């Protein structure tokens, strides 16, 4: 049986899942989305993902045509229809069909779809031996230009950063703010470790408030670490012993080199590996069962 997706109220075959070329989600990237994961029939941090989706929608004044509870039910139903034990879930709400102008008020009905599938973001070897990343030439856009609470369908800033990563021969790139502060990577948050200090850049600089980021901060606190947000210039990164990235798809991935410069010992750090183990343990017991 082929994959089925939930699209505007019903289930359709993947191949038949089509939306209008007049949807402003396509024409302008006007909409919001979430990337969520399930582990062994448990959806990890589903409430937090839905809260972020609805918050982002509110910021862009997009009314999601389902209650949060109904949205949650539809996600679970999509997983069941496809009989997936471990899945990557993509929930998308678009502005809907309008004319060729920008005015969102002219789009009467938002589009809504849910895809459940598999994803592997980074090759397995990087989890064992650490991943080198580069620094993108493209800067993260300013938080006053684009509210970082919105996980919007317009990912071109990140895609330009990803192209920079590809040009540099790395899988991922760190994006700096226009004033040289460390913000986040193109699809992941970034953390640094020194002794018992665990830090990540504040979202006010323009990063997405990651669900995995929050989980890892909690795990760090449970391990007795001093956890916090830290504003740092690019040059300060190399003073840390360990670095890693977090994201729903990536989980926790050790970073051992930034722009050719080694971080710490050049191997995945002890704290990083411990947090990865803690994280994977948590995914076994936490989450909405289906
Ligand atoms: N930053 C960006 C730009 C992202 O797209 C993502 C999600 N892929 C993250 C950070 C990580 O967020 P989360 O842990 O909620 O997946």
Structure-token pair, residue 147: 């509210």
Q: For 54-76, what is each residue's pLDDT tens digit?
A: 999 999 999 999 999 999 999 99
Nearest in space to 105 (alpha carbons), one of 93, 96, 118? 96
Atom of ligand 1 nearest to the CA of 214: 14
What pLDDT is stored for residue 119 in this prediction? 79
Please give the helix or strand (H or E) that residue 147 lies within, else none.
none
User: What is the Å distance from ligand 1's center to 189 Cα?
Assistant: 6
CA atoms within 13 A on the CB side of 210: 28
What pLDDT is stored for residue 85 in this prediction? 94
- CA 221 to chain centroid: 22
Query: Chunked in runs of 10, what are the mean pLDDT values of the chain (290 residues)?
Result: 92 97 98 97 98 98 97 98 96 98 97 93 92 98 94 98 98 97 98 98 96 98 98 96 97 97 96 98 95
Nearest in space to 147 (alpha carbons), one of 263, 52, 64, 39? 52
CA atoms within 13 A on the CB side of 19: 24
Q: 7 CB under 6 A from ligand 1?
A: no
Task: Please give the Cα distance from 16 to 3 (Å, whole number).
Answer: 10
What pLDDT is stored for residue 1 in this prediction? 66
CA atoms within 13 A on the CB side of 123: 8
Contact 279, 219 (CB under 8 A): yes
- Residue nearest atom 8 of ligand 1, based on CA coordinates: 187
End-to-end CA distance of the chain: 20
Q: Which of 201, 208, 248, 279 to mutate to test the pocket of ligand 1 (most atoms within 8 A of CB)?
A: 208
Contact 94, 111 (CB under 8 A): yes
Model-wide pTM > 0.95 = yes
- Give strand pairing partners of 12: 5
User: What is the Å distance from ligand 1's center to 34 Cα?
Assistant: 9
Q: 208 CB under 6 A from ligand 1?
A: yes
Question: Distances from the Cα of 246 to the Cαs of 7, 102, 161, 191, 212, in angstroms?
Answer: 29, 34, 17, 8, 6
Q: 157 CB under 6 A from ligand 1?
A: no
CA atoms within 13 A on the CB side of 57: 26
User: What is the Å distance from ligand 1's center to 198 Cα?
Assistant: 18
Q: For 197-217, what is each residue's pLDDT tens digit?
A: 999 999 999 999 999 999 999
User: What is the Å distance from ligand 1's center to 100 Cα?
Assistant: 30
Domains and their CATH numbers in the chain: 4-117 (3.30.470.10), 124-282 (3.20.10.10)
Q: 210 CB under 6 A from ligand 1?
A: yes
């Amino acid at each position: 049986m082929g994959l089925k997706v939930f699209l505007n109220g019903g289930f359709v075959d993947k191949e038949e899942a089509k939306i209008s070329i007049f949807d402003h989600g396509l024409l302008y990237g006007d909409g919001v989305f979430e990337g969520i994961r399930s582990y062994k029939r448990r959806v990890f941090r589903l409430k937090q993902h839905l809260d972020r989706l609805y918050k982002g929608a509110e910021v862009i004044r997009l009314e999601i045509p389902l209650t949060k509870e109904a949205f949650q039910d539809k996600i679970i139903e999509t997983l069941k229809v496809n009989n997936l034990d471990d899945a990557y879930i993509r929930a998308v709400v678009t502005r809907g069909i309008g004319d060729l102008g920008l005015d969102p008020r002219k789009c009467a009905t938002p589009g809504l779809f849910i895809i459940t599938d598999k994803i592997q973001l980074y090759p397995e070897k990087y989890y064992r031996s650490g991943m080198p990343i580069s620094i993108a030439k493209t800067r993260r856009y300013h938080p006053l230009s684009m509210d970082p609470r919105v996980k919007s369908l317009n990912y071109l800033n990140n895609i330009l950063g990803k192209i920079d990563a590809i040009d540099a021969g790395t899988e991922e790139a760190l994006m700096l703010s226009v004033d040289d502060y460390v913000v986040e990577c193109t699809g992941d948050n970034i953390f640094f470790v020194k002794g018992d200090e665990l830090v990540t850049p504040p979202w006010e600089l323009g990063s997405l408030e990651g669900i995995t980021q929050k989980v890892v901060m909690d795990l760090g606190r449970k391990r007795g670490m001093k956890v916090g947000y830290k504003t740092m210039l690019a040059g300060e990164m190399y003073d840390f012993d360990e670095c890693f990235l977090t994201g729903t798809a990536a989980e926790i991935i050790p970073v051992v080199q930034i722009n050719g410069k080694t971080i710490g010992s050049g191997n995945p750090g002890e704290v990083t590996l411990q947090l990865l183990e803690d994280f994977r343990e948590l995914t076994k017991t936490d989450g909405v069962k289906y």
